[in-house]
């Protein structure tokens, strides 16, 4: 099946590719669990033990209600979709499991595994982000194409991918559920040390997403520079300025330095300049 043909089927969901057992076509058959190999493109890294045990109990009572999807290899089968069912079937003591056998390229295997987990909400945000990145970097899919394949908005794909910019310790906190995706997005762009500090504050103090965003905003905003300290007033200089101002009839400022200083006399018109010139040179006022 070509990648182009896979798109519409993925958009309709897994039921378009993996029929239930009641309406399974002749291509569905029982295969040995021992012949199934792990999918190297499986985006999920962890399966909760409690959920696996519950599924194993259900399989013991009712059997596997939906076949898994595999692709045939030289030494057996490679699992494409249905990892939890395979693990639960083994846990329940089954030797065989119903499967749909399809010939799929590597990209299609990753897409199908990702779609299955996304639709069943089996992936944590970091696992999703890594799968999206793999689709982009290894198989050349754009964010728009990824969004269509998994039935998400493009902005969702962009925001999820940004989680991979976080420090590894923060990603781990998201992966194990200590930190929500909303909390994590608030930390993107902060230095690693500040990210870890905020994680501790969020977890220890039970901060809401809004509170985390506000803390992150404060850290991003540069602190205003302290205003330059005003030099201490010098009564002698102030008296000199007043005397000169009264004598010249204009604004005068005196600044003292380590060696000498300067006097600044302001004027506002050409006539003002002429008047000051005559006063300072001894000419007529």
Positions marked catalytic: 83
**Pair 101, 29: CB distance under 8 Å:** yes
Task: List, in sequence order, every residue forming a beta bridge with 30; answer none if it has no partner.
Answer: 98
Beta strands in the chain (DSSP E): 28-32, 36-37, 68-73, 76-81, 96-101, 252-256, 261-265
Sign of CA dihedral 166, 167, 172, 177: negative
Question: Beta strand 261-265 with 252-256: parallel, antiparallel or unpaired?
Answer: antiparallel
H or E, element range at 184: helix 181-187
Residue 279 CB neighbours (<10 A) = 15
- Distance between CA 99 and CA 67 in Å, rounded? 5
Rounded to whole angstroms, the Cα distance separating 252 from 257 reads 17
Would you state the structure tokens that stand for residue 148, as one six-digit string?
A: 């269509």
3-state secondary structure of 97: strand
């Amino acid at each position: 099946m070509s990648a182009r043909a896979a798109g519409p089927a993925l958009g309709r969901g897994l039921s378009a590719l993996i029929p239930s057992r009641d309406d399974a076509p002749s291509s569905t058959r029982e295969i040995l669990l021992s012949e199934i190999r792990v999918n190297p493109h499986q985006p999920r890294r962890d399966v909760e033990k409690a959920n696996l045990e519950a599924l194993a109990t259900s399989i013991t009572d009712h059997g596997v209600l939906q076949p898994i999807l595999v692709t045939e290899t030289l030494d057996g089968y490679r699992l494409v979709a249905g990892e939890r069912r395979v693990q639960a079937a083994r846990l329940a003591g089954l030797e065989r499991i119903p499967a749909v056998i399809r010939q799929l390229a590597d990209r299609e295997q990753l897409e199908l595994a990702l779609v299955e987990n996304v639709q069943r909400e089996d992936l944590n945000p970091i696992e999703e982000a890594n799968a999206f990145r793999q689709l982009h970097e290894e198989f050349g899919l754009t964010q728009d194409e990824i969004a269509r394949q998994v039935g998400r908005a493009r902005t969702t794909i962009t925001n999820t991918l940004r989680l991979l910019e976080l420090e590894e310790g923060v990603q781990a906190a998201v992966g194990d559920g200590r930190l929500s995706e909303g909390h994590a997005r608030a930390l993107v762009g902060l230095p690693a040390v500040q990210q870890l500090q905020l994680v501790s504050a969020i977890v220890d103090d039970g901060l809401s997403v809004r509170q985390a965003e506000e803390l992150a905003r404060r850290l991003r905003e540069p602190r205003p520079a302290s205003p330059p300290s005003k030099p201490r007033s010098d009564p002698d200089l102030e008296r000199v300025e007043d005397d000169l101002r009264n004598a010249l009839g204009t604004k005068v400022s005196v600044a003292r330095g380590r060696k000498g200083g300067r006097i600044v006399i302001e004027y506002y018109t050409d006539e003002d300049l002429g008047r000051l010139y005559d006063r300072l040179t001894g000419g007529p006022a």
